């Protein structure tokens, strides 16, 4: 079965700083999803990547999928308190999503 | 366009009881998937329904079941509740399923089993 490992598990940054979250798969990724979750709430869809080398951006968040399609990164530029939450990567695996354990992001004003 | 809705948002049950959770997908979406989220196990796939048929199933006991109606709304049922069933249950909808389709999640139902 496909396993996703996220790093770091938690991250505390000062407002305005840039940060990167990584997601590494044990198998080739055919669809990689990034979601954000506020504690105890639903998942907010951020981006979906499919092709090797693909990069997508939305506001101050950029996600990339490497050429070998086994690793993805999520980069936040000039972080704000509104970026705080849990970031989850999910992989499309046989018509179901497998998720990493999540990265807890805290942004201090 | 309305998002995915789940009812109820919170539930408290006792061991041995059964519970039914409801999920209404985004209009036009025919696939509904259910996930269980716990602190220890993270997000785990329960099952997926498409056009009223269960298309995929995760590794959960038979106490967990579901169904989908002709309007794509889905229900999930858990019988003989156990303490370990306490979790956030999330449903996700997409147009045709996960294969390269964006999946949108609802706010979840928080189930507490006492």
Q: CB–CB of B97 and A95 under 8 A? A: yes
CA distances from B99 to A50, B4, B20, B103, B112 (A): 10, 19, 28, 10, 32
Is the pLDDT at B101 greater than 80, yes or no? no
Count of CB pairs separated by less than 8 Å, A with B: 61
Best residue in A31, A43, A89, A99 to probe B by mutation, most B CBs within 10 Å?
A43
- Give the residue from B16, B14, B19, B11 showing the smallest Cα distance to B77: B19
Mean pLDDT in residue range B47-61: 93
Three-state DSSP class for residue A83: helix
Which residues does chain B have within 8 Å of residue A31's beta carbon, measured at their own beta carbons?
98-100
Question: What is the full per-residue pLDDT of chain A (109 aa) written as tens digits?
Answer: 678 999 999 999 999 999 999 999 988 888 899 999 998 889 999 999 988 899 999 999 999 999 888 999 999 999 999 999 999 999 987 668 899 999 999 999 9
């Amino acid at each position: 079965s496909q396993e996703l490992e996220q790093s770091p598990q938690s991250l505390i940054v000062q407002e305005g700083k840039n940060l990167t979250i990584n997601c590494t798969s044990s198998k080739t990724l055919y669809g990689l999803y990034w979601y954000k979750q506020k504690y105890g709430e639903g998942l907010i869809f951020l981006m979906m990547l499919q092709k090797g080398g693909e990069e997508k951006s939305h506001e101050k968040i950029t996600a990339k999928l490497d050429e070998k399609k086994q690793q993805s990164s999520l980069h936040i530029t000039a972080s704000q308190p509104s970026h705080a939450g849990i970031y989850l990567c999910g992989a499309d695996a046989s018509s179901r999503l497998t998720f990493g354990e999540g990265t807890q992001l805290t942004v201090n004003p | 366009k309305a998002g995915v809705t789940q009812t109820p948002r919170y539930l408290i049950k006792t061991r041995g009881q059964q519970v039914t959770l409801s999920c209404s997908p985004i209009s036009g979406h025919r696939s509904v998937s259910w996930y269980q989220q716990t602190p220890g196990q993270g997000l785990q796939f329960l099952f997926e329904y498409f056009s009223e048929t269960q298309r995929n199933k995760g590794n959960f006991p038979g106490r967990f079941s579901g169904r989908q109606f002709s309007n794509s709304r889905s229900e999930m049922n858990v019988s003989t509740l156990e303490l370990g069933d306490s979790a956030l249950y999330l449903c996700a909808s997409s147009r045709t399923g996960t294969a390269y389709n964006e999946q949108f999640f609802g706010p979840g139902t928080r189930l507490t089993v006492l």
